[in-house]
């Protein structure tokens, strides 16, 4: 009896502790939501009211209508297009090269692999300036093409995929070749279906990374019509730095799609993190 | 694999490799060479590039600004790394149990990781507001007059660190969680029989067995610390009085606001060298420092 009571007490203590920590983690978000629903006169008022006296959606309306603000529906669409394209380009290019480097023997292979490996050490800061210059010469600044194009080379995704393709059982390939499959058919109908889980994890990770990226779009895009959500938010921050209800409403809008994606693909996020941990 | 022969086979390989190889040349190899070249020039977009040898590096290493940036980054690392290690390991330890609702808590701890750096920084800029920010309001409840945080040159960097720990703890917690799940239960059962306290179990079993992960997370987070950008750009813009200027922020501003491409490239190579040195130290230490479960 005593023991059971002690056990119940410990369980309760555990839940209280973990709930307090969780509360601490999400308090900033609650604060964000609370602020975004206030009228601007009610934002800087003490004592704080967590539930606004009058709930106002004006900040959300303003994000889509004020002319000096980058229109948020536009920015959301831009972010979506850029993130999806980057993910597809990255996965397609890396998986093709990974297949060639995993399943074909050729003389230069080891040298090619070594060259890729060597560039993985170089931080993005080094290539960022010349990449911008090349894309400027190609007149691709202020375009989605320019924003997405550098992702055709991703050594990290390539090595991860190559490792997975090499681990695939050989009989699958032999069977396909006996059936007279072309290399592209092998890639399309044998390799891709078999590495789907790792593609999903990589895809989710790339999508999230691109959605949240700030520095590269900041360098490449200055046209308000082409801005992604992070740029729109940065822009809002420098123009309306004290309009907290507006900033917080924009924040919430920028977060929603990624949270929805997370809820539907939690499994891939977690496996993505465990492989992504090796990357960063 | 034996598909095709001779020319056809070479064409196949070339076709599969083409996008990656073009990308490698255009966005990696040539840029690296070009960046190194630029770092020895005075190029500022307006005037044609002029070879200046090591001038950029000399100016850079002799400037007060560079050493301030290093001190700022050092301060960030000294505060951020221990706080982040403790909080992410604590979160992982809490999540490494079977209890009703574990997935809900996981999502809650993970929300800051999903948030972009821009959004997270904006929230924290508001939370750290001197008068109306949540942090100082809460501190006020316990009778502490909070500092001006981002407007105060001594408190701005700690403010950025708070935001960064909040943002990253969930990410590293998942990495630690993976390591904790890998620990053999028999160790704990044996300790239980010997009557070890929970703290002693943590201290003498968990800590040594997750040390490879701790080591990896420490190195990773130090390397990441040298590349902090969005937090600073959004929260303080490098201020006040340069107290939160960091390397990436300097590279961005020199290259894309002052158009000093040569100087900015030199800075990026200094960053590269720093990362190389940390990686070399990592390789050296890995052998002695870490305990691997045999």
Q: Which two tokens stand for residue B231?
A: 């937090």
How many whole angstroms from its chain centre is CA A80?
10
Q: Which of residues 7-26 of A touch B (CB under 8 A)?
A: 11, 14-15, 17-18, 21-22, 25-26
CB contact under 8 A, B279 and A173: no
Q: Which residue of A has its CA nearest to B106?
A: A22
User: Distance between CA A240 and CA B3 in Å, rounded?
Assistant: 61
Model pLDDT, residue A92: 97
CB A28 within 8 A of CB B127: yes
* Contact residues, chain A, for B252 at CB < 8 Å: 215, 218-219
User: Distance between CA A212 and CA B252 in Å, rounded?
Assistant: 18
CB A274 within 8 A of CB B174: yes
User: Distance between CA B266 and CA A129 in Å, rounded?
Assistant: 11
Of B16, B26, B132, the CB nearest to A96: B16
Whether A277 has a pLDDT exceeding 70, the answer reads no
Q: Which two tokens stand for residue A161?
A: 């995929």
Task: Over range A12-17, report the average pLDDT.
Answer: 89
User: Distance between CA A208 and CA B110 in Å, rounded?
Assistant: 13
Classify burial at B104, counting beta carbons within 10 Å of its beta carbon; exposed 0-12, middle 13-18, buried 19 or more.
Answer: exposed
Neighbouring residues of B133: CB distance < 8 A, sequence distance ≥ 6: B126, B127, B146, B149
Whether A8 has a pLDDT exceeding 70, the answer reads yes
- Give the dihedral of Cα atoms B281, B282, B288, B292; nearest 10 deg: 180
User: Distance between CA A151 and CA B46 in Å, rounded?
Assistant: 30
* Contact residues, chain A, for B44 at CB < 8 Å: none
Nearest chain A CA: its distance from B234 CA (Å): 7
Q: Which residue of B has its CA nearest to A209?
A: B116
Nearest chain A CA: its distance from B56 CA (Å): 15
Around Cβ A267, how many Cβ atoms within 10 Å? 12
CB contact under 8 A, A153 and B24: yes
More reliable by pLDDT, A196 or A43:
A196
What 8-state DSSP symbol labels residue B131? T
- Asked if the bond preceding B277 is cis, omega within 30° of 0, the reply is no
Around Cβ B163, how many Cβ atoms within 10 Å? 25
Neighbouring residues of B148: CB distance < 8 A, sequence distance ≥ 6: B130, B155
Tens place of pLDDT for every residue, chain B, 294 residues?
A: 555 567 788 888 999 999 999 999 999 999 999 999 999 999 888 888 889 999 999 999 999 999 999 999 999 999 999 999 999 999 999 998 888 888 888 888 989 999 999 999 999 999 999 988 999 999 999 999 889 999 999 999 999 999 999 999 999 998 999 899 888 888 888 988 888 888 888 888 888 899 888 998 999 999 999 999 999 999 999 989 999 999 999 999 999 999 999 999 999 999 999 999 999 988 888 776 665 554
Model pLDDT, residue B292: 59
Over residues A119-153, the pLDDT tens digits come to 988 999 999 999 999 999 999 999 999 999 999 99
CB contact under 8 A, A183 and B3: yes
Q: Does A167 contact chain B (CB < 8 Å)?
A: no
Write down the residue that tokens 């100082």 correspond to.
B136
ipTM of this complex: 0.90
* Contact residues, chain A, for B234 at CB < 8 Å: 234, 237
* Contact residues, chain A, for B171 at CB < 8 Å: 273
* Contact residues, chain B, for A152 at CB < 8 Å: 19-20, 22-23, 27
**Could you tell me the CA-to-CA distances from B197 to A89, B180, B188, B204 in Å, in that order?**
53, 18, 11, 10
Around Cβ A13, how many Cβ atoms within 10 Å? 10
Q: Does A247 contact chain B (CB < 8 Å)?
A: yes
Q: Which two tokens stand for residue B90?
A: 């604590």
Model pLDDT, residue B90: 92
Model pLDDT, residue B294: 44
Nearest chain B CA: its distance from A32 CA (Å): 7
CB A190 within 8 A of CB A173: yes
Q: Does A163 contact chain B (CB < 8 Å)?
A: no
- Asked if the bond preceding A265 is cis, omega within 30° of 0, the reply is no
Of B254, B158, B159, B20, nearest in space to A153 by CA = B20
* Contact residues, chain B, for A131 at CB < 8 Å: 27, 31
How many whole angstroms from its chain centre is CA B212?
18
Angle at A12 between CA A10 and CA A16, to 5 degrees: 115
Task: Over range A36-41, report the average pLDDT.
Answer: 85
Neighbouring residues of B219: CB distance < 8 A, sequence distance ≥ 6: B278, B279, B282
CB contact under 8 A, A127 and B91: no
**Could you tell me the CA-to-CA distances from B255 to A222, A228, B38, B99, B206 in Å, in that order?**
15, 21, 11, 52, 46
Model pLDDT, residue B2: 55
Three-class DSSP category at B41? strand
Write down the residue that tokens 């990974």 correspond to.
A98
Mean pLDDT of chain A: 88
CB A231 within 8 A of CB A217: yes
CB A183 within 8 A of CB B16: yes
CB contact under 8 A, A254 and B17: no
Over residues A96-113, the pLDDT tens digits come to 999 999 988 888 889 999
Neighbouring residues of B238: CB distance < 8 A, sequence distance ≥ 6: B232, B244, B245, B246, B249, B250, B253
Q: From start to end of A78-227, where are the E strands?
A: none
Q: Does A256 contact chain B (CB < 8 Å)?
A: no
Q: What pairs with residue B41 in β-bridges?
A: B51
Residue B241 falls in which region: left (phi positive, over 0), alpha (psi -120 to 50) or beta: left
Q: Does A169 contact chain B (CB < 8 Å)?
A: no
CB contact under 8 A, A152 and B20: yes
Three-class DSSP category at B280? helix
Q: What pairs with residue B51 in β-bridges?
A: B41
CB contact under 8 A, B227 and A101: no
User: Distance between CA B134 and CA A26 in Å, rounded?
Assistant: 13
* Contact residues, chain A, for B110 at CB < 8 Å: 262, 269
Nearest chain A CA: its distance from B215 CA (Å): 13
CB A176 within 8 A of CB A190: yes
Write down the residue that tokens 């050594």 correspond to.
A155
CB A95 within 8 A of CB A161: yes
User: Distance between CA A233 and CA A248 in Å, rounded?
Assistant: 10
User: Distance between CA A85 and CA A201 in Å, rounded?
Assistant: 16
Whether A159 has a pLDDT exceeding 50, the answer reads yes
């Amino acid at each position: 009896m005593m023991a059971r009571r002690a056990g119940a007490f410990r369980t309760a203590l555990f839940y209280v502790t973990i709930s307090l920590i969780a509360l601490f983690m999400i308090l900033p978000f609650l604060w964000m939501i609370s602020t975004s629903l206030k009228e601007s006169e009610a934002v800087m008022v003490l004592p704080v009211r967590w539930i606004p006296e009058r709930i106002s959606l004006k900040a959300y309306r303003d994000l889509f209508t004020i002319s000096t603000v980058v229109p948020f529906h536009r920015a959301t669409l831009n972010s979506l297009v850029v993130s999806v394209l980057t993910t597809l380009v990255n996965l397609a290019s890396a998986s093709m090269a990974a297949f060639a480097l995993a399943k074909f023997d050729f003389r230069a292979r080891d040298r090619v692999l070594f060259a890729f490996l060597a560039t993985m050490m170089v931080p993005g800061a080094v290539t960022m300036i010349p990449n911008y210059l090349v894309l400027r010469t190609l007149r691709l600044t202020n375009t989605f093409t320019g924003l997405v194009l550098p992702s055709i080379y991703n050594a990290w995704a390539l090595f991860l995929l190559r490792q997975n393709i090499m681990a695939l059982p050989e009989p699958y390939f032999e069977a396909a070749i006996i059936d007279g499959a072309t290399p592209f058919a092998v890639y399309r109908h044998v390799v891709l279906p078999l590495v789907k889980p790792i593609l999903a994890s990589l895809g989710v990770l790339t999508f999230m990374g691109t959605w949240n990226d700030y520095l590269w779009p900041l360098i490449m895009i200055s046209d308000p019509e082409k801005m992604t959500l992070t740029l729109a938010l940065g822009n809002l921050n420098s123009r309306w730095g004290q309009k907290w209800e507006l900033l917080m409403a924009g924040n919430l809008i920028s977060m929603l799609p990624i949270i929805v994606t997370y809820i539907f693909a939690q499994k891939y996020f977690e496996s993505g993190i465990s492989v992504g941990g090796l990357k960063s | 694999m034996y598909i095709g022969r001779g020319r056809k086979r070479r064409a196949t390989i070339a076709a599969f490799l083409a996008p990656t190889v073009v990308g490698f040349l255009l966005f990696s190899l040539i840029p690296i060479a070009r960046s190194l070249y630029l770092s020895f020039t005075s190029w500022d977009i307006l005037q044609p590039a002029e070879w200046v040898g090591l001038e950029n590096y000399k100016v850079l290493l002799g400037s007060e600004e560079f050493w301030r940036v290093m001190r700022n980054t050092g301060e960030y690392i000294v505060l951020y790394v221990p706080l982040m290690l403790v909080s992410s390991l604590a979160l992982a330890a809490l999540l490494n149990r079977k209890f009703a609702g574990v997935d809900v808590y996981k999502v809650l701890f993970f929300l800051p990781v999903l948030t972009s750096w821009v959004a997270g920084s904006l929230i924290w800029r508001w939370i750290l507001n001197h008068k109306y920010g949540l942090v100082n309001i809460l501190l006020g409840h316990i009778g502490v007059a909070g500092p001006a945080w981002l407007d105060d040159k001594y408190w701005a960097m700690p403010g950025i660190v708070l935001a960064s720990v909040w943002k990253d703890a969930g990410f590293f917690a998942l990495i630690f969680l993976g390591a904790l799940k890998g620990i053999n239960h028999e160790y704990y059962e044996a300790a239980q029989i010997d009557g070890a306290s929970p703290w002693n179990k943590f201290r003498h079993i968990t800590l040594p067995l997750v040390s490879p992960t701790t080591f990896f997370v420490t190195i990773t987070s130090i390397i990441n610390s040298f590349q902090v950008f969005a937090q600073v750009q959004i929260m303080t813009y490098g201020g006040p009085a340069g107290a939160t200027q960091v390397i990436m922020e300097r590279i961005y501003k020199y290259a894309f606001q002052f158009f000093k491409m040569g100087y900015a490239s030199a800075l990026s190579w200094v960053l590269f060298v720093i990362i190389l040195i940390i990686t070399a130290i990592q390789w050296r230490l890995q052998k002695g420092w870490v305990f691997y479960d045999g």
